[in-house]
Structure 1
Amino acid sequence: MRREEKNALARQRIFEAALREFSEKGYAAGSLNTICAENNISKGIIYHYFTDKDELYLLCVAGCFDALAAYLMQALEGISGSVEGRLREYFDARLRFFAENPLYLGIFTDAALNPPEHLISGISEMRRSFDELNISVLTGLLDSAALRDGITVAAVVEDFRMYMDYFNLRFKDVLAGIHSPEQALREHEERCHRQLGILLYGVLGDRDENR
């Protein structure tokens, strides 16, 4: 086996071990010592390929969001129907991804809802493709709908981005007592869907229905 192949296999082995550790425990409780002890990997080998715990964690975050973005792009290709139907399909596809890739679930919830403060900038860069996809999905929905006078797609997208930044911070506090990543994700996805629905349609029912 050539040196390049050995290096690739070694890096992949470390990555998979780190993915399991950070998925189960998050960044704060994740430990390089545990990764080494439970996977028969020497710390020297880890430091040969990676600078530190931060680099390994960000690699897992990048793998999660890149895979999620690619999955969603394929799942939504050619989808049509009502705005509400396409919106529901988008969030359903997100849930299917994590059902099929459970190790990425813990990574997603930790990075999205409990990011280490000193890694926030790095995480933002790692999830750029996912964030851009979210914006493109919203833009596509708005482009196919009639907006009120004076409302532009660009303005709604910008407001939505600021709104979701606040929502994610608030949701982190709300979920403080929820220990199951699956429950946390489903709560998060349902609330995201509801908040986007409020942004698009408001909260009041049709006046005729209330007469």
Structure 2
Amino acid sequence: MQGGVIMKREEKNSKTREQILKSAMKEFGEKSYSEASLNTISKDGEISKGIIYHYFKDKDDLYLSCVYRCVSSLVEYLREKENLSGEPEKDIKRYLELRHRYFEGNPDGMGLFSSFMLHPPKHLMEEISKLREELDVYNRKLFERILEGVHLREEVSLAEAMEFFLMFQESFNYYFSQNYHGEENEAFNQHEQKLKKFLPLLFHGITKE
């Protein structure tokens, strides 16, 4: 009997937490961190602020929980759908298409992803960097596997090619964050469109003709 009561309580807690996160993902996906409001999350999710604070320490904690959910869900989806062909440009195109397809089905996550990748709250940058690590590791391993199937230029080692990729990734994101300040969903679309053009150029620079 007691076990059944505990299970029902845990189920209720899980549903309530899910309800809060769903409302928060929508709010953080539509607005920047500073503009997002716990009052709106409370109102739209039909949850009292007291209940929100029961499950999450503060706005920072709730935001980081949304970031974690976004990253882990995206990586899980990419791993599930991944299917390398051995053709670099084709595999890169598929990777970007999978990202786009994921966010088509998770529109609130699109705005949030763009927000914490390109315009993260300064006081949460360290925590966000740690939460991003799962995606960063996935991207590095995927790129390395793609590179293993291509003929690199004689003067370029696999380690150097990986270093080049990481430098490109960081500099591209930094450049984009400094030069685009529109709506987060539109920022994501612009970011992905430019990646589609630039990533093939990256490969042409390190592979043999």
- Structure 1 distance, partners of 2:142, 2:68, is 20
Q: Which of the residues 183, 194, 198 maps onto 2:201? A: 198
With the length of structure 1 as denominator, give the TM-score of the two structures: 0.88
Could you tell me which amino acid in structure 2 is paired with residue 89 of structure 1? R
- Structure 1 distance, partners of 2:189, 2:86, is 24
CA RMSD for the aligned pairs? 1.8
How far residue 98 of structure 1 moved from its aligned partner, in angstroms, is: 0.7
How far residue 180 of structure 1 moved from its aligned partner, in angstroms, is: 5.9
- Structure 1 distance, partners of 2:21, 2:147, is 39
Query: Quick one: percent identity of the two aligned structures?
Result: 38
Give matches, 1:70-85, under 5 Å. 70-77=76-83, 79-85=84-90
How far residue 163 of structure 1 moved from its aligned partner, in angstroms, is: 2.3
How far residue 80 of structure 1 moved from its aligned partner, in angstroms, is: 1.0
Structure 2: segments with no counterpart, 5+ residues: none
Could you tell me which amino acid in structure 2 is paired with residue 115 of structure 1? P
- Structure 2 distance, partners of 1:76, 1:150, is 30
- Matched with 1:122 is 127
Structure 1: segments with no counterpart, 5+ residues: 207-211
- Structure 2 distance, partners of 1:85, 1:93, is 12
SS at match of 2:129: helix
- Matched with 1:3 is 9
- Structure 1 distance, partners of 2:54, 2:200, is 48
- Matched with 2:49 is 43
SS at match of 1:162: helix
Give matches, 1:52-71, under 5 Å. 52-71=58-77
The question of whether the paired residues in 1 share the 8 Å contact of 2:67 and 2:112 is answered with yes
The question of whether the paired residues in 1 share the 8 Å contact of 2:115 and 2:184 is answered with no
- Structure 2 distance, partners of 1:56, 1:154, is 38
With the length of structure 2 as denominator, give the TM-score of the two structures: 0.89
Give matches, 1:24-173, under 5 Å. 24-77=30-83, 79-173=84-178
String of CA shifts for 1:6-47, please: whole Å, max 9, x gaps: 211211111111111111112121111111233332221111
How far residue 99 of structure 1 moved from its aligned partner, in angstroms, is: 0.8
String of CA shifts for 1:41-80, please: whole Å, max 9, x gaps: 2221111111110111111111111111111112213x31
- Structure 2 distance, partners of 1:15, 1:98, is 17
Could you tell me which amino acid in structure 2 is paired with residue 46 of structure 1? I
- Structure 1 distance, partners of 2:129, 2:10, is 30
- Structure 2 distance, partners of 1:147, 1:22, is 42
How many aligned positions are there? 201
- Matched with 1:179 is 183
Could you tell me which amino acid in structure 2 is paired with residue 140 of structure 1? R
